[in-house]
Structure formats: structure tokens, C-alpha cells
Chain A
Amino acid sequence: MVSEKDVQHIAELADVGISSGELGTFTHQFNEILEYFDQLDAVKGDAAAIKDLYNVMREDEIEPSLPQEEVLRNAPAQEDGFIRAPRVM
């Protein structure tokens, strides 16, 4: 069982945000789904899949990079070739 406060915290951890109007319904649905997930507690065995493909690697070779304009093309804000982001502190 998670509380509305827990759901609020998760929304912040995931940076998705949740409005106060949604919180109640979200929490209720969340709990329903988590209860469904709890079925997994009964799953026996602890060996996960033996993966059959290993050591997939490539040679250390240089390939062309994107031209700077392509890198910046989709960025909403840029300055002198840098991409602009919100301030960190």
C-alpha cells in the first residue's frame, strides 16, 4: 500500500510531476496495480535466464560524427555551439 505522499515522492523522483487534482485517483489506481504485481511474490526459483549471447563488441574505429548543426537542430535553445539548459544550482 502506498500513500498519496508516497505517490507524490515517486512523481518527484521520476520528475514527471502530478497535480493535486490527480493525486487521489492516481494513488488508488497505483495501489490496485501494485496489488496485482504482488502476485510475483509467489514465483518460485531464483535463476534468471541463462543468457546465450556474450561478448558483443566492436573494433576501436573512428566513424564520422554528426555535423554540429545536426546536433543543435532539434535543441530549442543554444548559444555559440553549446546547448542551453536550465541552471544547475
Chain B
Amino acid sequence: MSGTSIRFEPDDTFNAFLTVCKRPTHTGGKLAGVAVAVKDNISTRGIETTCASRILKGYVPPYDAHVVELLRKSGAAIAGKTNMDEFGMGTTTENSAFGPTLNPCDTGRVPGGSSGGSAAAIASGMVRMALGTDTGGSIRCPAAFCGITGLKPSYGRVSRYGLIAYANSLEQVGPMGRTVSDVSTLMQVIAGYDRHDSTSLNKPYTHTPHAEIKGLKIGIPEEYFGEGVDPKVAASVKIAIGRLEELGATTVPCSIPSMEYALAAYYVTCTCEASSNLARFDGVRYGPAADTKKPWHEAYQEVRRAGFGTEVRRRIMLGTFALSSGYYGKYYAKAQVARENVRKDFQRIFADVDVIAGPTMPTIAFRLCEKSDPLSMYLADILTVPANLAGIPAISVPCGKADGMPVGLQIMGRHFEDERVIDVAYAYEQAVI
């Protein structure tokens, strides 16, 4: 690869990076020479890509994800691959096979997940920008926990070609950065149609953030301020929304009744899709070797039991069960109906308001090893999954602190109105600088 190179030798005490590219080369362009970190579930040609799993240790993709190609074309220097929850399954980055990432704001706490590595890399100042992925909150959660900004784009605006699939119908690659401007600039680079992704749409993003929000109508859903949300977090967010009102926006109370089933619909959908997506990992074409002297069924089980972590195996099994004979109608089919109800609820609300605001997460960052029960971990995603189910854009921007830890303000918008969501976040950010 031709071009100049920069030096990248961070002091990574947070275990944010799985692979560091010490002399990344770059060309000219919008991001010329800017060091950008890439989450380790995004394929990078010639650079090990593991999804933080033992089953992909040593896997070097022979191709770049579409977004990585776009990064390279824009002149960015790929600084390295960041740590994550294994295959995107988790809310804390504790499910990595290569050790958890620590939260730079408090190293006794988690950075959030699953894009915890990317968030920590930005929060600690190692990089300004990073790519993350968001299936049920995996960009917004770590952004909130680490006090940075992260956008989950509208479904279909950013190509998934090269993103190692966890849940195809829910996930998006998205930009994470120190500021809303950083996030917007990165979005300019990665958004747009890709002929290799059949779910990709022709909606390029060419926006520069504007802080003007006079006349904006903001919906405040009662479910986002209910009993599951920590009062201090709720208070921080309410103050932030107050700021937006001062800037000329008006708030409208609203309700999303379908949220009652949103989390179940999310976990059924993602585990079903994941159980199928992860079936290809068998040690034959890549990954740790299968014992070819054994019969294949036995050999596969051996590789997969050793290579997948507990949470991954759990989700694969849940998905396998939910898709198995006789259960499709009860679980997957029903989940899609619940999903459609969420979509309809948002459509109804967006007839009266322009954006919806609330906390990104119900709490501040947990302590390491605090959440050991899987179901209680899943429940932490309750405020982020609705946007994935509906495919609408959602951003998390830092809004103050609670108990000394960052709190995230979440703004959600209509499908394809990522620009407006960015503007609202920008308006808030600029007002409190």
C-alpha cells in the first residue's frame, strides 16, 4: 500500500485494542492521516479479525469490509482493531475472550458493550474516531458509559458487507467520536449505497451539523423514565432536555406501549439469526484446526465448545431452540409481529414530534463482574433495542454525570433522518461546551 504512514504507539492500559497497527499508512482525502480504530468484528484485509473470540484467533480476512475500503479511500490511517464482547454479544465487553476493556473514566467499571474497546480508545484520547457496530445498543451503550458520542445509523444507510454478522436484520456499523462533529464527519465517509449489500440503500450522508433547533418538537416517552431507570440518570437527562427547550424546542409527552415486548422480540430475533450466522465456525476453512482424524460431528463440537465463550454458546442454543421444529411460530414469527408493532408506535409518535429523547442506558456503567446473571444483563438493553427493532437512527451524546460517571442522552429520529438526530445532539453539545 502506497502513501505515508503515521506512528501509532498508544499506552493501552485499558485493553481497548486487540491489534495495534504501529505504522498505519494512509493517503490523502477527507480523513487524511487521521487515526481511526476499527471494531474487531469488521473485516480488515491483512489484519487479524477475531470478533474477540478464540474461534477466530489467527483469522486474517482476504478482503476489506466496504466501510474499511471507504475509510482507506478517505485517507484514514487504520490504527488498530478494538476489543468487544465476543461476536457482539454483551453489554459490557466482559464477554471478550481476550480480557475485558476497562472504562477510562473509572477502571473499576466496564466501558459498556459491545463496542467497549472503540469507546475506551476514544475516551482515553488514543484516537478521535472509531467504527463500532450496534445491534441492540452496542454503540450507544459504551458511548454513554464512557462519555463520548456514538450514532446508530438508520438501517440500510451504511453497508454491512464485511461486518461479521451477529443479527443481520438489526445491526449497523456506525461512527463513534469525541464530538458530534467527529461522528458526523466519519458518517460522511461510511454512509452510502454498496452493491455488495442487498439491504443497502442509496442514501449518502453529506451533512454538516447545525445547531439550530427552534421549533423542534421532542417526544418524551414515559417508558424511558419509568421505575427501571436510575433516578440520578433520569435527572441528568431531564436537565439536558431542559437545555434543549431553552434552545427553542418544545417537549411532548408520549408513550410506546409496544416496548413491553421489545426486549423479548429483540432477543428472540438476534439469537435466532446468530445461531445460524455462527454455525459456519467449525475450524475447517479458518480458525483453530478441527481434528480431521475424528468424525466430523465430533470434531465440530470440539472446536466450537472450546472456541466459543459461555454467553455465545448460550445465545446460539437459545436461537437454535427458538427456530427448531414447532417453535418458529411461537418465537421468531411472533417477534417479527412485535417488531412491527414497535415500528408502528414510532411512526405514530413521529406524526406529532420530530425526535424522541430519553436516557441511553437505565444506569451508569456497572462495576466489573457486577452483572453475572444473563437475564439481568439483557434487561439493561431495554432503552436501546427499540431503535434497532424499528431501524430508526439513534445517537448517544454525553450529558453530565451521575455518581461521578458519564450519562448519555439518547436522541432518536425518523427513518433516514440521521441528519436531524445529529443536529439535535450537536445543538445540545454546543450549548454546554
Q: Are both chains from one complex? A: yes
Sample (18) of A-B pairs whose CB atoms are under 8 Å apart? A12-B301, A13-B324, A15-B297, A16-B313, A16-B317, A30-B317, A33-B318, A39-B261, A40-B334, A43-B341, A48-B336, A49-B339, A49-B343, A53-B199, A73-B60, A83-B285, A86-B291, A87-B296
Q: Contacts of B310 on A, CB cut-off 8 Å?
A: 22
Given contacts A13-B324, A16-B316, contact A73 B62 (CB under 8 A): yes
Closest-CB distance, A43 to chain B (whole angstroms): 5
Query: How far is A39 from B260 in the complex, measured between Cα atoms in Å?
Result: 9
Q: Contacts of B317 on A, CB cut-off 8 Å?
A: 7, 10-11, 14, 16, 18, 26, 30
Answer yes or no: A60 CB below 8 A from chain B CBs: no
Query: How far is A56 from B200 in the complex, measured between Cα atoms in Å?
Result: 10
**CB under 8 Å from chain B, chain A span 2-61:** 2, 7, 10-19, 22, 26, 29-30, 32-34, 36-37, 39-49, 53, 56, 58
Q: How large is the interface on B (under 10, 10 to 19, 20 to 34, 35 or more residues)?
A: 35 or more
Answer yes or no: A1 CB below 8 A from chain B CBs: no
Interface centre among A2, A70, A86 (most CB of B within 10 A): A86
Proximity bits, A67-86, B CB within 8 Å = 1, else 0? 00011011111000001111
Answer yes or no: A88 CB below 8 A from chain B CBs: yes
Answer yes or no: B267 CB below 8 A from chain A CBs: yes
Contact of B290 among A2, A11, A47, A76 (CB under 8 A): A76
Given contacts A74-B285, A86-B296, A88-B296, contact A29 B374 (CB under 8 A): yes
Q: Contacts of A75 on B, CB cut-off 8 Å?
A: 284-286
Question: What residues make up the interface of B, taking CB atoms closer than 8 Å to A?
Answer: 58-60, 62, 156, 195, 198-199, 201, 260-261, 263-265, 267-268, 275, 279, 282-302, 304-305, 308, 310, 313-314, 316-318, 320-322, 324, 330-331, 333-341, 343, 373-375, 378
Answer yes or no: A62 CB below 8 A from chain B CBs: no
Contact of A53 among B201, B282, B343 (CB under 8 A): B201
Q: How large is the interface on A (under 10, 10 to 19, 20 to 34, 35 or more residues)?
A: 35 or more
Query: How far is A34 from B34 in the complex, measured between Cα atoms in Å?
Result: 46
Given contacts A26-B314, A40-B331, A76-B283, contact A17 B302 (CB under 8 A): yes
Contacts across chains A and B counted by CB atoms under 8 Å: 161
Verify B324–A45 contact, CB threshold 8 A: no
Q: Contacts of A18 on B, CB cut-off 8 Å?
A: 305, 313, 317
Given A73-B62, A86-B300, 17 more pairs with CB closer than 8 A: A11-B313, A13-B324, A14-B320, A15-B282, A26-B314, A29-B373, A30-B314, A33-B318, A36-B264, A40-B261, A40-B265, A45-B337, A48-B337, A53-B201, A58-B195, A74-B58, A76-B290
Q: Contacts of B286 on A, CB cut-off 8 Å?
A: 74-75
Closest-CB distance, B268 to chain A (whole angstroms): 6
Contact of B292 among A16, A39, A85 (CB under 8 A): A85
Contact of B267 among A37, A66, A84 (CB under 8 A): A37
Closest-CB distance, B90 to chain A (whole angstroms): 15
Query: How far is A42 from B265 in the complex, measured between Cα atoms in Å?
Result: 12
Q: Contacts of B260 on A, CB cut-off 8 Å?
A: 39
Q: Contacts of B301 on A, CB cut-off 8 Å?
A: 12, 15-17
Closest-CB distance, B416 to chain A (whole angstroms): 11
Given contacts A26-B314, A56-B198, contact A37 B292 (CB under 8 A): no
Contact of B264 among A15, A39, A77 (CB under 8 A): A39
Q: Contacts of B330 on A, CB cut-off 8 Å?
A: 40-41
Closest-CB distance, A1 to chain B (whole angstroms): 12
Query: How far is A56 from B196 in the complex, measured between Cα atoms in Å?
Result: 11
Query: How far is A73 from B45 in the complex, measured between Cα atoms in Å?
Result: 12
Closest-CB distance, B135 to chain A (whole angstroms): 17
Query: How far is A48 from B339 in the complex, measured between Cα atoms in Å?
Result: 8
